[in-house]
Amino acid sequence: MSKPDDSDKAENGGPSAIEQYLVKDPERFALNMARMIEQAGKAASAWTEPREKGEVRDHVAEPVVDMVKTFSKLSEYWLGDPQRALEAQTRLFAGYMTVWANAIQKVNPNAEAPQDAVQPERGDKRFQDPEWGRNAFFDFLKQAYLVTSRWANELVEHAEGLDEHTRHKASFYVKQVSNAIAPSNFILTNPELFRETMASNGENLVRGMKMLAEDIAAGRGDLKLRQADYTPFEIGKNIATTPGKVIGRSDVAEIIQYDPATETVLKRPLLICPPWINKFYILDLNPQKSFIRWAIEQGHTVFVISWINPDERHGAKGWEAYIREGLQFGLDMVEKATGEKEVNAIGYCVGGTLLGAALALLAQEGDHRIKSATFFTTQVDFTYAGDLKVFVDEDQVAAVERSMSEKGYLDGTKMATAFNMLRSGDLIWPYVVNNYMRGKEPLPFDLLYWNSDSTRMAAANHSFYLRNCYLENNLSRGVMELAGRKVSLADITIPVYNLATKEDHIAPALSVFLGSQFFGGDVEYVMAGSGHIAGVVNPPAARKYQYWTGGKPVGDFNAWLAAAHEHPGSWWTHWQHWIENQDDIRVPARKPGKRMKTLGDAPGSYVKVRV
């Protein structure tokens, strides 16, 4: 190749546009490719060894089969009519022709810059490098990809005769495939990755493959994608540090009582029932973000259920066990520690769903210790459940149950992967590119440390949840069976504070709104800004987001929202006023251990068990 002339030189005096994509040191590059292959062998060994020993059994075929079935139903519509098929192909071909014409025009130095056939969606960070628009080759790849992915989405949107569940799944799978095949994910088709690889003579790939081998080994044969540098964090040291004591321990839960921060406290203690799908310390990440610490500072005597990270011993523990040995056990410990029989309770996500079912059961049994209930992003009706519903139909639930029957639990990595797939464009592919192709360690981030601290699911518990909630919607229909009784949400007549978040993809605001109608008492429905985590963990001092309040949560959700009043900042202070309106009597502060023996310091031992 001839030497580039001066016109090819970059404006800043650096390498020319051509030189950026050439190997600088062939000998060093070849050596690094050999080192990369060596690390790839270690990655392959980390993947195959657990399978050869029988420690890991793959169930990859089952979700792939479901995706193929879903796409087959989609194809039946478009291929069932030759005219429809021709129109679909023509739309795609027309898009490609526009991309091709633009590419030809861009290489012509005398032509005006053409308008792109399609623009990335607002907020899409994959194509920010200038070369995606300046370089004809990369611009062609970008536009061809965007045209194809948008066309595929339109096939789903415009397919008639699909039931809503199939359409939901098809849209989800198209999104996953589109995110996976993006040119930004590959060395040769991403200008930034290409330049970095050439500039470092492939050392980025050596580092990336080493990290890949480490992450497969950490996942015991499955990829445990690292989303942050986890080394700076330690539970009880700089995560979950609010002072307190473990005052009770059952087979499924530890009960934590926190130290007071005020001289007087509300007479009614506060019991928090977090989800067992994640660990409770999302509510106690650090002193600045901790809802638990903030609630203590407002005068609550706070108790938290810290769920066991289950193993084969807990396979038969179902929802009744989690109610008796978790929530009801927590009420017993609160009463023993404080002498109080009136309690305020909070349930978060599936912890809230359990709380709702438990309240309905306890109402029938005459246990009325919980006097107010607060639900954080909780579904009790699953008609309009979020994207997790994609994974729930009879075939998929049966496959999960077969997998759980082998060990008595579902591996935590399976649930973590499912949650990450809901936002794969944010939680999977950016880290694949950064870690394994750029070879860069992710930065420390406490929220992502918590996100990676996955938990297993006890088989009976998880099966009951999938079938009774997502698959059959039994709780809101009044046919869920617990302890030999059919429980009804209408029996819950205590005041309810029902918090939704606007951008929630797990418990959509519409779903939470509709669930409000099933309770038998007054419901204060509040919608916060942001999503499932950030919308809940939003301390007032941060001055972020907003929340909406309005009339009773009845009728049309959009009509309610249009008439609702928007408030700047955090909903936490609004909730505190609501709680005090229920009962604002105060008593001297209560210290853990004054009335009973304690079992150790917060955050306890159950939360420290990792998978």
Q: Residues with catalytic annotation? A: 349
Q: Which helix (H) or strand (E) holds 527?
A: strand 523-528
CA distance 250 to 438: 46
Report the SS3 class of residue 508: coil
CA distance 117 to 307: 52
Q: Dig out the tokens for 420 from the structure.
A: 């990450």
Of the candidates 501, 199, 530, 555, which has an alpha carbon nearest to the alpha carbon of residue 375?
A: 501
Report the SS3 class of residue 416: helix
Q: For residues 431-460, b (16+ Cβ closer than 10 Å) or e, as one string?
A: bbbbbbbbbeebeebbbbbbbbbbbbbbbb
What's the full length of the chain, in residues? 611
Counting beta carbons within 10 angstroms of the beta carbon of residue 93, is it exposed (0 to 12), middle (13 to 18) or buried (19 or more)? Answer: exposed
Which residues contact residue 367 at a Cβ distance below 8 angstroms, ignoring those fewer than 6 apart? 328, 331
CA distances from 394 to 66, 76, 309, 390 (A): 11, 22, 27, 12
Instruction: Please give the sequence-ordered ranges of beta strands (E in DSSP) within 297-395, or none if there are none.
Output: 302-307, 343-348, 370-376
Provide the Cα torsion 514, 330, 255, 238; round to 10°. Answer: 30
